[in-house]
Amino acid sequence: MVSGLCLYEFINMIIKTAYNESVVLTAGLMMEGFFVVSLLFGLFLIILSGIRANRQTKLHKSAVAHYRTRLSAHINDQVLTREKAGVDPKEIKLLIKNEKALQKSLKLVANELDSEGASEKVRINGFPIDNRMLEGLVGLLGTIGITGWQILNNQ
């Protein structure tokens, strides 16, 4: 309903400026402007939360990669400590073998998170919510503002 009213008012403003008539800023026009700004602000908040949701998989992947690095350093410290303490070499080899298996599992989890982050973005009506959608919204808002300003200053 708001988009229909805005389209009507926009066409009405263009027709009035084409015939050199003045565009009167009425209470109805102000209310429509308020509704448009409110809807765009709500959409802006939805887009920001979608961007945060899409970012979570990247943060999880980063956490897994960080954990892999810390695990490797911890195991290397354990191996050095156990070698100095004179622990059975079979136990050290078992520790290294288990660490490699865990490293491989963590790498597979990180790869899965990476592929999921690339293919399963949060969407609204089929459109992925990301920085491009936010840029489009800001561009739309700026265009509407500049066009309205030009029409109202052309009196």
pLDDT of 123 reads 66
Q: Which of helix, strand or coil describes residue 17?
A: helix
pLDDT of 124 reads 67
Do residues 51 and 134 lie in contact, with contact meaning Cβ atoms separated by under 8 Å?
Answer: yes
pLDDT of 127 reads 67
Q: Which DSSP category does 154 fall into?
A: T
For the stretch 34-61, pLDDT in tens is 888 888 888 888 877 777 877 777 888 8
Burial class (CB in 10 A: 0-12, 13-18, 19+), 47: buried
What percent of the chain shows pLDDT beyond 70? 90
Residue 142: pLDDT band with limits 50, 70, 90 = confident
pLDDT of 37 reads 82
Selected residue with higher pLDDT from 15 and 132: 15
pTM over 0.85: no
pLDDT of 36 reads 80
Tokens of 108: 């597979």
